[in-house]
Amino acid sequence: MTFEFKNIGCIASNKITEFILKNERAYNLRYINDNEPIVFDEKSKIYECYLNEVLVAFIILEVWDYGDGYEIIFGTLTDDTNVHFTEILRQFLQNEYKEDLKIFALVQHDNPDKQTVFKILEKNEFIQSTYKQTKVYKDLRANGIRKDEPDEFVYTPANNCEPT
């Protein structure tokens, strides 16, 4: 199964926005407005994923405010059991991802789908750490910007295993 990726800029399509709104706990995006499309920083990148010209998934590379990397956010938009996000992410990393691009996945502690997310990331050779162990978190805490809160898991690709 070969997937096609289309970079649509920094504004989420209606279908992606609708999906994120229905799954708000999993995404925890603080800037969501129920009446408008989700708009990310202009340096962010939203990829729609197509299979046979049908939109089946999305991948968002959201620019990270505290460093020089991107948080990867993703979701599957189809109930087709033949479409596996593990394969979508593998193809994305193989075909679209540039090794000098720093990406990481931040998995919320209360994400209802976190076990599935963990498996997808691990199968694609992301290395697990916790957010509290990252340099970014330690810097934010030292500067009084971030308060102590439940830990979240951070995953980085094996070829880029120093969390930003």
CATH number, domain at 54? 3.40.630.30
Which pLDDT score, from 0 to 100, does residue 6 have? Answer: 95
pLDDT at 136: 58
Give residue 119's pLDDT: 81
Between 116 and 50, the more confident residue is: 50
Domain around 142: 4-160
Contacts with 143 (C-beta within 8 Å, 6 or more apart), sequence order: none
Q: Tell me the mean pLDDT in the region 153-161.
A: 55
> What's residue 103's pLDDT?
72
The count of domains in the chain is 1
Confidence of residue 108 (pLDDT cuts 50, 70, 90): low
pLDDT attached to residue 161 = 40
Distant-in-sequence, close-in-space partners of 99: CB < 8 Å, separation ≥ 6:
159, 160
